[in-house]
Chains A and B, each alone.
Chain A
Amino acid sequence: MSKYSTEELSAMVEPTRYHRKLFVDEDIFDLEMERIYGRAWIYIGHESQVKNPGDYVTTRIGVKNPVVMVRDGNGKDIHVLHNRCGHKGATVVNRECGNVTRFRCNFHGWTFRTDGKLVGTPHATGYQDCGFDRNNPQYNMPGVSRQGEYRGFIFASLSEEGPELETFLGEVKSSFDNMVERSPEGRLELVGKGFRYVKNSNWKAFMDNLDDAMHPMVTHQSVGEACEDYLREMGEVSDPKLKKIVEILNPFISSYEFFDEMGVTTCAYGNGWTGGEASIHSEYDEIPGYRKLLVEAYGEEKARRILSVNRHNTIVYPCMTLKGAIQNIRVVRPVSVNKSIIESYSFRPVGAPEELLQRNILYSNLVNSPASLVGNDDAEMYERLQLGLQDEAGDWMDTHRYLNRDKEVKPGVFTAPGTSDLSFRNMYKAWKEYMMQEAA
C-alpha cells in the first residue's frame, strides 16, 4: 500500500508549481520507479553496440531491474531480457558488454539461449520424475514486457499497457531523424565508452535542467567569462583549436533574448525540445566537405533542411535527452532519491568527415565529463536543490514563466518563448498522469 493516495500525489503538482517532496521523499522516489520507470519507454541501448550475433550490453531499468540487450544468435533480432536466472534468481550477465553463444549462470550452471530460453540444467537426472518442467517459461530469462526500436535506438517498457513506442515518441521522432540523417549514410555508431557522471541529486533535477533556458547565463556565467578573459589577453584568435573551444563554450552565456528566440516545444508524455533553427549549436563553423557529402546523399533541399535543424536538448521523458546537431545522447539512471548517474554517449555519423565526430567529442569532454567546467556547475546547483528542498520553510518549486503564452501549433504540440517554464509544466503534467495510475 502506497504511503500516498492518488489524491495526495495529485495535489503535489499544480499548474504553476510542484511540491518539494518530489525531490526529497524516498517513498515518492520508490513510487516513481514503479509507476514512471516501471511503465514508460526507457532507453536501453543502440543497435551498433550489438552488431554481431551474441553481442550484449547490460544496463538497468529504474533501480531494481537489471537487463541485458543481446543480439540473437540468428544475427537479426535484438532481445531485451531481464538479467535474472530462472533458477535461484541471480543475475546471469555481469560484464558491461561482451559476446556469448549462450548465457551461463555461474551459480548452478543453468544455460540460456540468447532469446532467454532455458536450454541447459546440469546433472539432469536430479530433475527426473519430480515434476520439473524445463520448458516452463518461468525458468527462462524473461523478455521485458515490451521492447521497441526507433532508428537504431532500443527502448523497453516493463508494462504491457501504454502507447506504442512511436506514439510515445510522437513529435520527438523528428529529433532522432535529424540526428540519424546527419550521417550521409543514415547510420550512427556509438563510440567506445561514455561518461557516467554521478550527481548527488534527484533524477528530475537533470531532466528539469535540460530545457531550462533561464539557467545557462547564470549558472555558467563563469565559463563564458573565463573564455572572454582569456581571449581579451590573447587578442585576435586565429588558432583553429581555440576557435572550436570558444564556439562551444561561449553560447552558454547567450542573452535571455537569444534563448527566448530559440523557442521551446512540448508534446505528449512529457517530451519536447528547446531550440529550432537557432540554438547554442547553430553558429558552429561548417566542417569542410561535410555539406557536400550531405547534398550528394540527400539532394540540395533535404541537405539544407537537415543542417537547419539545430535543436538544443530534446527530452524523452523520463530517462533521456538527445542532441541531433552534435550526435550525443545522455541517459539518466536513477540511483536513489538524491543520487543519479548521467550517462553520456557520442555517436559517429557514418560517412561524415572525421572532424565532425572530433568536434562532438570535444563538446562532450567540455560539457558532459565529470570534470566539465559546464557540468560541474549544473551538478552543484542540483545538489543545492537537494539541500534547500529538505527545509520545510517552503513547499513549492515555481513554474510560472510565460504561462498562457503557449501556442498550439499542432494538436497537442505547443511552443513558447525559449525561457518559458513550459517544459517544466509539461513534464510535471506527465509525472502526474503516470503517478495517478495505481498498480493494475
Chain B
Amino acid sequence: MKARVVVTLKSGILDPQGKAIEGALKSLGIAGVASVRQGKVFDIEVETDDRSRAQDVLREAAEKLLANTVIENFSVEVLG
C-alpha cells in the first residue's frame, strides 16, 4: 500500500530555514504569505494490504527514525 508520513516542527521550535524561505517569498513580491514552516514528506510503500497494520508500521518508523519527537510532530496517512 502507498502511504505518506509528514514530519513538521513543533510549534515554538525556531525554524530558521522556514524564516529564510518566508523572506525569499516576500522579496519575490508574493503577497499574502504570513509565515512559513518547513517540514518533510516521506512517501512509503508498505508490504501489506491491512490498513491498520500499515498504520502501525508507519507509526513505528516515524517514532524510531523519521521524526525526532523532541522537536517534531508527525502524521501518518495510508493512501491505499
Partners in one complex: no
A interface vs B, CB < 8 Å? none
Q: Spell out B's residues near A (CB within 8 Å).
A: none
